[in-house]
Structure 1
Amino acid sequence: MQVKRFFAPDMRQAMKFVRDELGADAVIMGNRKVAGGIELTACLDYPTTPSAAAAPAQPSPALTSELQKTQSRIAQARAELLLRSAEEKAANRQMTDKRIEPVLPSEPVNFAQALKQRLAEPVAAPAADSQSMAQVKAELSGLRELLEVQLGSMAWNRVSQQSPLQARLCKRLLQMGLPAEMARTLLSRVAREKDPRKAWRMVLAHLAHAVKTPLKEPLQEPGLIALVGPAGMGKTTTLAKLAARYVLQYGAHSLALVSLDSYRIGAQEQLRTLGRILGVPVTAADPSQPLQHVLRQYADKRTVLIDTAGMPKSAPGLREQLTALESLRGKVRNYLVLGATSQAAVMQTAWQNYQSCGLNGLILSRVDEAATLGEALSLAITRKLPVAYVADGPRIPEDISVPTAAQLVSRAVHLQLPDEPAEETLQGMFAGLDKGEGWPQAV
Structure 2
Amino acid sequence: MKMKKYTADTMVQAMQQVRKDFGDEAVILSSTIVQPKGLLGMFRKKRVEVVAGFDEPAVLKESGLPSADEMVQSATSGPDPSLEELKQDMREVKLLLKAAKKSSSFDQYPDSMQPLLDRLTAQELKPELVRTAADRIFSRMKEEKTDFTEAEQRQIIKELLKEELADLPFGGVNLKKKYVNVLGPTGVGKTTTIAKIAARSLIENKRKVGFITTDTYRIAAIEQLRTYANLLQAPVEVAYTADDFRQALEKLADKDIVFIDTAGRNYKELKFVDDLKQLIDFNLEMETYLVLAATTKESDMRAIAEQFGEFPIGQFIFTKLDETESIGPVYNMVTDFQKGIAYMTDGQEVPEDLEEATVGNLLTLLLEEGADA
TM-score (norm 2): 0.67
Q: Partner letter of residue 240 of structure 1?
A: A
- 1:205 corresponds to 2:159: yes
Task: Compute the displacement of 1:179 (Å).
Answer: 1.3
Match for 1:58 among 33, 38, 48?
Answer: 48
What is the match of residue 193 of structure 2? 238
Q: Partner residue of 1:196?
A: 148
CA RMSD of aligned residues (A): 3.7
Q: CA deviation at 1:341?
A: 1.3
Deviations 1:107-144 (A, max 9, x none): xxxxxxxxxxxxxxxxxxxxxxxxxxxxxxxxxxxxxx
**Residue in 1 that maps onto 2:291:** 337
2:319 match: 365
Against the structure 1 CA distance between its residues 42 and 323, is the aligned structure 2 distance closer, same or farther, given a 3 Å change threshold? Answer: farther
| Distance in 1 separating the partners of 2:359 and 2:206 | 29
Query: What's the counterpart of residue 221 of structure 2?
Result: 267
Distance 2:318 2:109 in 1: 39
Give the counterpart letter for 1:266 in structure 2: A
Confirm or deny: 8 A CA contact 1:27 1:43 kept in the other structure. no
Q: Following the alignment from structure 2 to structure 1, what is the Cα–Cα distance between the partners of residues 205 and 33?
A: 67
Which consecutive residues of structure 1, in runs of 5 or more, have no partner in the other structure?
2-18, 30-40, 64-148, 416-443
Cα distance, 1:55 vs. partner? 6.8
Does the CA contact (< 8 Å) of 1:229 and 1:310 recur in 2? yes
- The code of the aligned residue for 1:350 comes to I
Residue among 45, 60, 68 paired with 2:27: 45
Task: Supply the distance in 1 between the matched residues of 2:204 and 2:34 (Cα, whole angstroms).
Answer: 65
Determine the C-alpha separation between the residues in 1 that align with 2:29 and 2:51. Answer: 17
Q: Is the 8 A contact 1:347 1:376 kept in 2?
A: no
Q: What residue is the counterpart of 2:125 in the other structure?
A: 178
* Counterparts of residues 419-434 of structure 1 (less than 5 Å): none
Whether the aligned pair in 1 keeps the contact of 2:179 and 2:287 (CA below 8 Å) is: yes
SS of equivalent residue, structure 2 residue 241: coil
The amino acid of 2:161's aligned partner reads: L
Residue 345 of structure 2 aligns with an amino acid whose one-letter code is A
Task: Give, in angstroms, the shift of residue 310 of structure 1.
Answer: 2.0
The question of 1:311 aligning with 2:293 is answered no
Partner of 2:172: 217
* Counterpart residue type for residue 314 of structure 1: E
Aligned to 1:10: none
The correspondence for 2:248, drawn from 294, 300, 306, is 294
Q: CA deviation at 1:244?
A: 1.6
Alignment counterpart, residue 209 of structure 2, candidates 255, 273, 283: 255
**Which residue of 2 is the match for residue 321 of structure 1?**
276
The one-letter code matched in structure 2 to 1:384 is Q
Task: Quote how far apart the aligned CAs of 1:395 are.
Answer: 0.8
Which ranges of structure 2 fall in alignment gaps of 5 or more residues? 2-10, 36-46, 54-96, 142-146
SS at match of 1:356: coil
State the secondary structure of the residue aligned to 2:349.
Answer: coil
Does 1:346 pair with 2:328? Answer: no
1:192 counterpart SS class: helix
**In the aligned structure 1, how far is the partner of 2:238 from the partner of 2:275?**
15
In structure 2, what residue type is equivalent to 1:218? V
- The aligned residue for residue 62 of structure 2 is none
Q: Which residue of 2 aligns with 1:131?
A: none
CA distance in 1, matches of 2:195, 2:127: 37
SS at match of 2:225: helix
Give the Cα–Cα distance (whole angstroms) in 2 for the partners of residues 185 and 47 of structure 1. 35
What residue in structure 1 maps to residue 236 of structure 2?
282
In the TM superposition, residue 328 of structure 1 has moved relative to its aligned partner by 1.8
Q: Which amino acid aligns with 2:148?
A: P
Q: Secondary structure at the match of 1:289?
A: helix
The residue identity in structure 2 corresponding to 1:172 is R
Describe the shift of the 1:199–1:290 C-alpha distance in structure 2 as closer, same or farther (beyond 3 A): same
| 2:356 aligned residue | 402
Identity of counterpart residues, as a percentage?
A: 25
Mapped to 1, the partners of 2:34 and 2:138 lie a distance apart of: 27
Q: Distance in 2 between matches of 1:268 and 1:42?
A: 68
Alignment CA distance shift 1:247-1:199 (3 Å): same
Question: Structure 1 residues 163 and 303, CA, compared in 2 at 3 Å: closer, same or farther?
Answer: same
Q: 2:38 corresponds to which residue?
A: none
Question: C-alpha displacement at 1:330, in angstroms?
Answer: 5.6
2-structure distance, mates of 1:163, 1:390: 35
- Classify the secondary structure of the residue corresponding to 1:231: coil
Question: What whole-Å deviation, never above 9, does each CA across 1:65-116 have from its counterpart, x for those lacking one?
Answer: xxxxxxxxxxxxxxxxxxxxxxxxxxxxxxxxxxxxxxxxxxxxxxxxxxxx
Contact residue 177 and residue 287 of structure 2 kept, 8 A:
no
Q: What amino acid is the match of 1:228?
A: L
The one-letter code of the counterpart of 2:140 is: E
Matched residue count: 291
| Residue aligned with 1:329, SS | coil
Separation (CA, whole Å) in 1 of partners of 2:274 and 2:314? 19
